[in-house]
């Protein structure tokens, strides 16, 4: 399962959903719509493999994701992902992140390398870290990808832009806090 939270994202959905369609590993993609007033529904309808789930109002990012999380949990899914409408995942993204999950059975949340869309050779994030004065920031922000030396491993947090959650972890710690 992959949740794509949308609010007036008609201009962004085609690239996001095309990238999800191209995944080497299949997934049930749900576009959760937070009361859009643009052509988002018509855009999503061009992707018949995608489930369109209109909420009728803007419930916020956390609660919209939680709607899909609850459905994935009820369906017995082992994993559920989040992908923002402005993200275009690599075709191997889901397969690679599931492989990382298999190799790290004690880890519950997985992120990846996020690059800037307008500067695809520059890192946006490789995870969230806390600096020496307590500020959360994106690790490797602004680093050219070709010079990136960070290895996979634990971080304080991950970007919700493209993430994967073990459903057992969600059952243990709970869903996103909508406050």
Q: What is the pTM of this model?
A: 0.92
Task: Kindly report the three-state secondary structure assignment for every residue of 141-164.
Answer: CCCEHHHCCCCCCCCCECCCCEEE
Which pLDDT score is estimated for 117?
Answer: 87
Q: What are phi and psi of 125, to 5 degrees?
A: -165, 145
Confidence of residue 58 (pLDDT cuts 50, 70, 90): very high
- pLDDT tens-digit map of 3-56: 999 999 999 999 999 999 999 999 999 999 999 999 999 999 999 999 999 999
Radius of gyration of the chain (CA): 16
Helix then strand count (H, E) for the chain reads 5, 10
SS3 53: strand
On average, the pLDDT of the chain sits at: 95
> What is the average per-residue pLDDT within 90-102?
95
SS3 66: helix
């Amino acid at each position: 399962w992959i949740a794509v939270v949308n609010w007036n994202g008609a201009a962004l959905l085609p690239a996001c959903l095309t990238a999800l369609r191209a995944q080497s590993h299949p997934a049930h993609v749900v576009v959760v719509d937070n009361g859009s007033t643009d052509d988002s529904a018509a855009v999503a309808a061009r992707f018949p493999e995608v489930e369109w789930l209109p909420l009728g109002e803007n419930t916020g990012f956390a609660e919209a994701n939680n709607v899909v999380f609850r459905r994935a949990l009820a369906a017995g899914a082992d994993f559920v992902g989040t992908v923002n409408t402005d993200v275009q995942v690599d075709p191997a993204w889901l397969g690679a992140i599931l492989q990382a999950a298999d190799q790290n059975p004690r880890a519950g949340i997985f992120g990846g390398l996020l690059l800037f869309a307008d500067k695809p050779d520059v890192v946006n994030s490789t995870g969230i870290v806390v600096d020496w004065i307590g500020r959360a920031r994106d690790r490797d922000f602004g680093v050219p990808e070709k010079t990136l030396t960070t290895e996979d491993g634990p971080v304080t947090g991950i970007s919700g832009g493209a993430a994967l959650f073990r459903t057992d972890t969600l059952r243990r710690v709970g869903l996103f806090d909508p406050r």
